[in-house]
Amino acid sequence: MTFAVVFFAVAFLAFIGALTLVFHRHPVIAVLGMAAATVSIGVLYVMLHVPFLGLFQMIVYAGAVMVIALYVIMALGPEESGPQVGTVQTVLTYAASLLFLLQLYRVLIKSEIGPMPAVDEAFGSIQAFGGALVSRYAVPFELASLLLLGAMVGAVVLSRRQWQ
């Protein structure tokens, strides 16, 4: 029972945060909305029996990504100026998105899904996680680290001013 209540609260929060991100004019508030959404989603991860990832979510998203975004907005003048997005684009986007949503719902209805089955405590534990990472997913793990390295180098290169 509590689970459901918590779920709906968190879900609601996430949804509100998303809406804020998308519809609020002021960019800082939009970013904060996103942060809230991210945190909520992290809570949802915990509720799904993977607390490790929930933690990860908080650190990476709510912590790093949002802070970076905020930093960019505040440092580099975020004001939206210029012509608004064309009406055709917006109308079509809303229509298509609505249709998309309906489609997804239709697919969902057609498939047979039921309540969450029970899992044991070890599911989603760090041991299980780490074990999987170094055994079965060792190669992607290494590749991910390479990717991060590349991203770091790339970020440095891209934000360099042109040396004369």
Query: In the window 100-119, what residues touch other proteins (CB under 8 A)?
Result: 100-101, 103-108, 110, 113-117, 119
Q: How far is the CB of 164 from other proteins (least distance, A)?
A: 16
Tell me the DSSP string of 58-109: IIIIIIIIHHHHHHHHHHS-----SPPPPHHHHHHHHHHHHHHHHHHHHHHH
Least distance between other proteins and beta carbon 163 (Å): 15
Round to whole Å and give the CA distance between 51 and 43. 8
Least gap, CB of 120 to other proteins (angstroms): 9
Pattern 20-49, binding to other proteins, x per CB under 8 A?
-xx----x--xx--x--xx--x--xx--xx
Per-residue x/- track, 140-159, other proteins (CB under 8 A): x---x--xx-xxx-xxx-xx
Residues 119 and 113: beta-carbon distance below 8 Å: no
How many other C-beta atoms can be found within 10 angstroms of the C-beta atom of residue 11?
A: 14
- The yes or no reply on residue 139 touching other proteins (CB under 8 A) is no
* Shortest Å, Cβ 37 to other proteins: 7
Q: Binding to other proteins by residue 129, rule CB under 8 A?
A: yes
Tell the burial category of 73 from Cβ atoms under 10 Å away from its Cβ (0-12, 13-18, 19+).
middle
